[in-house]
Structure 1
Amino acid sequence: MQPVGPIALKFLGFGEAASLFAAGLAQAGLNGLAAYDIAVHGGPGEALLRERAAATGTALLSDRAGFSDALWVFAMVQPGVAEKAARETAPHLRPGSFYVDFSSASPKRKQAAAASVAAHGGHYVDAGIIGSVPASGHRVPIFASGPDAAAFRDVFAAYGMDITVAGDVVGAAAGIKLVRSVLAKGLEALYVEALVAARRSGVADEVLGSFCAFLDARPAHATAALLLQSHVVHAARRAEEVAMSRDLVIEAGLDPVMTDAVIEIMRRTAATDAAGSAGGRQPATMNDALAILDECLPRRAPGNDMNAKEDRSQS
């Protein structure tokens, strides 16, 4: 569905990311921006909120009723309150308006938020920011999903936004962002543990230099394929190698949190028949390797403990 009429955009939540979006969109020619943030009612964040609003030419709303004339609402709130924010804002939306949820909430929570918006005649778009807003502003890559994701892309691409439609299912964009976050933040955590240990051992430059040379030797996709394909048949040997690395991390005075996790992942694969399924040879492609791992690695049944973990992560 392609919206018609002038673009009236308002923000729900006006923290750093929202203010950078506002600045970029205003520079791209989108005028009349407004925002509602609970900090407008006072508290330690009020001064910064008003500073950001003034710097971007964004009008501040006194309550959610101010969304009644908005065609587009960009919800940029913390993941723990995203579902509640949609539920409380939906009654104030004008019928046919678009609610774009940029939060890092889970697919399940985004689907619940979408139901609240739809119940009041609004269109919900699941959006996942992939990259750094401080570095790229409103041009940061975004995945969007849901029946109205294409309308979101078509309208805001004209203002320089980089939006890729990830399908018609609400939650798909959230899934991409959250699983990708495991890779990005996992690499970050590995760098922290390994390089602090290397520094304390007096070999930080050598470790980082040799590892970066490994990464730079081929395209990133090829490196992922190399690691996954070889993992299928070499997980047991690699577990032993990292187990020896563990002693060095401990000697450096660090709790080997990431090192232990690496060992566990390697041993988990080694305990399966993954290597046998591959005939003792590396699979020919990354997709072949993933298919074998998908088949061999046990699936964890959902339970109350998993729900509790999700609740804590959203708090």
Structure 2
Amino acid sequence: MKFEHVGMIGYGEVGKIFTAGLKDKVAGVSAWDLIFDVPALRDAQRAHAAQAGVAACASMAALCERADLIISAVTASSTLAVAQAAAAHIRPGAVFLDLNSASPGTKQQAAALIDPVGGHYVEAGVMTSVPPYGIRVPMLLGGARAAELAGVLAAWGMDAKAVSDKLGVASAIKMCRSVMIKGLEALVIESYTTARAYGVEDHVLPTLAETFPSIDWQKQGAYFFSRVVQHGQRRAEEMREAANTVREAGPGFDPFMAAAIAGKQQWVADQARAGVFAGIGKDARWQDYADRLLAAKPKASS
């Protein structure tokens, strides 16, 4: 397995990081994103791609025409739509690496679109936040070509490990972890903001530190708030896929927690979209975020 050209579907945070990290590994790197056609945003995004040495494609067809390794990094809700669009144009023998946070069932449906037209679908479970690691972010791969692809990516300096030749295993690992991690984010936001409203945070956080002394609850709280404020919509979509993962585990196994986590993540995303956190700096304390949420509460009628 050898690749000459990498095509990135999605030029958001992950897409930018991966294309920057991979452009020196192959002969060429290109990207396609719906944002390239949004009048208010396309010029800045295309300029960013050009400066980064990434060819901004005009369409999915143009990207698939040149790429022998296609990487999909979009929101969870777009996983199937992107696979379907790529299936119409993917070159025979090209590998389609799906980084998206989707359930095992969704990944299997995506593979059923790519494989019959001659592509090779490989699922990836990205196991932690990408920015601190770049292309070395730990990834678990699954599918018939997972082991072969893992060898290529490892040679590029990436931390990719094949866990199964069966589709769904890697995504199941990722989704079960997400219930915990995104759940902690949601719990911290709800607990800390409520504690702030009652003026009891200086009592609550020390009790957490006593129970879990290895965690800096002030620092971790600020990080959780900032990530959800920045990426709440993406996290909410991921948690809806996590809820699907729970449902796919068997009849009668209801995703009470995953659904609630999705709701909290979506609520924060909606607050961010409404401008509640406008002007908060990247090094803000968790209290700064909590105060904005409390200030945005509707006032009770007298």
Match in the other structure for 2:53: 57
What SS class does the counterpart of residue 156 from structure 1 fall into? helix
Q: CA deviation at 1:300?
A: 4.9
Instruction: Flag the 1:19–1:186 CA change in 2: closer, same or farther, 3 A.
Output: same
Match of 2:223 in 1: none
SS of residue matched to 1:126:
strand
TM alignment of 1:134-173, pairs within 5 A: 134-173=131-170
- The one-character-per-residue Cα deviations of 1:133-192 (angstroms, maximum 9, x if unpaired) are 222221111111111111221111122211122211112222112121110011111112
Do the aligned partners of residues 44 and 170 (structure 1) sit closer, same or farther apart at CA in structure 2, a change above 3 Å counting? farther
1:184 aligns with 2:181: yes
List structure 1 segments (4+ residues) > 6 angstroms apart after TM superposition: none
**Structure 2 CA distance for partners of 1:213 and 1:29, relative to 1, 3 Å:** farther
SS of residue matched to 1:103:
coil
Q: Secondary structure at the match of 1:186?
A: helix
More helix per residue: 1
CA distance in 2, matches of 1:202, 1:139: 42
Counting only pairs closer than 5 Å after superposition, residues 103-114 of structure 1 correspond to structure 2 as 103-114=100-111
Larger radius of gyration: 1
CA RMSD of aligned residues (A): 2.7
Alignment partner for residue 122 of structure 2, among 115, 120, 125? 125
Normalising by structure 1, what TM-score? 0.64
TM value normalised by structure 2:
0.67
Query: Of the candidates 41, 45, 48, which is equivalent to residue 45 of structure 1?
Result: 41
Q: Tell me, in whole angstroms, the C-alpha distance in 1 between the residues paired with 2:86 and 2:201.
A: 50
Q: Aligned in 2, Cα 1:203/1:301: closer, same or farther, shift over 3 Å?
A: closer
Query: 1:302: how far off?
Result: 7.1
Matches within 5 A, 1:1-315: 3-4=1-2, 6-26=3-23, 29-66=25-62, 67-216=64-213, 300-301=251-252
| Structure 2 unaligned spans of 5+ | 216-249, 267-302
Q: 1:40 to 1:196 in 2, by over 3 A?
A: closer
| 2:7 counterpart SS class | strand
Q: Structure 1 unaligned runs (5+)?
A: 219-298
Secondary structure of the residue aligned to 2:70 is strand
Letter in 1 for 2:95: F
Counterpart amino acid of 2:184? L
Q: What SS does the aligned partner of 1:166 have?
A: strand
Counterpart CA distance in 1 for 2:50 and 2:79 is 25
Secondary structure of the residue aligned to 2:131 is helix
Q: For residue 136 of structure 2, what is the amino acid of its counterpart?
A: R
> How many positions carry a matched residue from both structures?
225
Deviation at 1:200, TM superposition (A): 3.2
